[in-house]
Structure 1
């Protein structure tokens, strides 16, 4: 079976959905406030995307058409439910991108993973992301917003600090302990 991508069976998808739902419930314990519901379609899409991306990291000779055909963008609406469900798998995106970049920094797989990082900013904290990220669904949901701000602080991702709203929430989260939790943090808001 070397050098080819095998389709997922219905049994694979069913088992993966159960596993992803369990992982979602486990990760939800880290969150506060009303937690968005599990979205099976988004979770399966992200798991399949990440799985195929790992395969493509190893099968580098399949070409641009195959990469683009296997790593299709999510075709549903972006909502708190889809963001959190995608994150079950996409929280591993930074590590996979680092591996793919190390093997071939300019190939189509790296570009597709970078595009996914831009499309899913909740999961790409800590990554150098090019392009405009839509954070409306994150910032408009208290549960996701708190988790997103916590991730930015934990990663000390100053690149995410070019947004007035994000900076206000970081400042609020750091409180009087800013220099202890994030030494040297200063908002980096760029005027539009």
Structure 2
């Protein structure tokens, strides 16, 4: 039995390349379990480099993130569904959204901005864009570097966990996401994290602060 879902997700994680092996939107329980087991190992390995005490892997959130990215890319390449079906094919996450869920879903969800940009390149008016952007608006850690309505983002969960907070700040700096860096809730934390290196690593940020 071919494990298209597992093969695609393992390729994505290991090589940062998404390969679709067939037009498949539904998978067997065995295929899903392989993905869950694989992502749990990936999370445990990646979290060794996380600051402070990382939360445990949330397998359900990791699987949801993998399904979201996989399905989004299937829909970009093989659109055979009506617009009204998109929310059903890309459902929201219905469980608790805590630091464990955010970091676990991010294993695959971090690749969603690239899929979104590809969709925009193909058809800027595609209804899929709004559905995916709504996901990123909620899972905004994975959307760092992608232009969203940052003013409406809720940071309560981010600030509730010191590991999550530091990872968020680090990614804003890594992506040089000016939109988020200028938010009052993050600005001082980002400046403090960069310390004396801010002037050389992120000159634009210092320039914007100078002109405030």
Q: TM-score, normalised by structure 2?
A: 0.82
Query: What per-residue deviation string (whole Å, max 9, x for no partner) do you get for residues 111-149 of structure 1?
Result: 111111111111110001136211211122111111111
Measure, in 1, the Cα distance between the counterparts of 2:96 and 2:84: 25
Corresponding residue number in structure 2 for 1:152: 172
Structure 1 stretches of 5 or more lacking a match?
none
RMSD of aligned alpha carbons: 1.9
Corresponding residue number in structure 2 for 1:137: 157
Q: Which runs of 4+ in 1 moved over 3 A?
A: 3-6, 186-189
- The equivalent position to 1:177 in structure 2, one of 186, 192, 197, is 197
Question: For 1:4-23, what aligned pairs fall within 5 Å after superposition?
Answer: 5-23=24-42
Query: What per-residue deviation string (whole Å, max 9, x for no partner) do you get for residues 163-190 of structure 1?
Result: 222111101101112111211314979x
More helix by percentage:
2
Measure, in 1, the Cα distance between the counterparts of 2:25 and 2:142: 27
1:11 offset after TM fit, Å? 0.2
Query: What per-residue deviation string (whole Å, max 9, x for no partner) do you get for residues 15-42 of structure 1?
Result: 0001111111122123111101100111
- The equivalent position to 2:188 in structure 1, one of 168, 174, 183, is 168
Q: TM-score, normalised by structure 1?
A: 0.91
Question: For 1:26-45, what aligned pairs fall within 5 Å after superposition?
Answer: 26-45=45-64
Aligned residues: 187
SS of the counterpart of 1:34?
A: coil
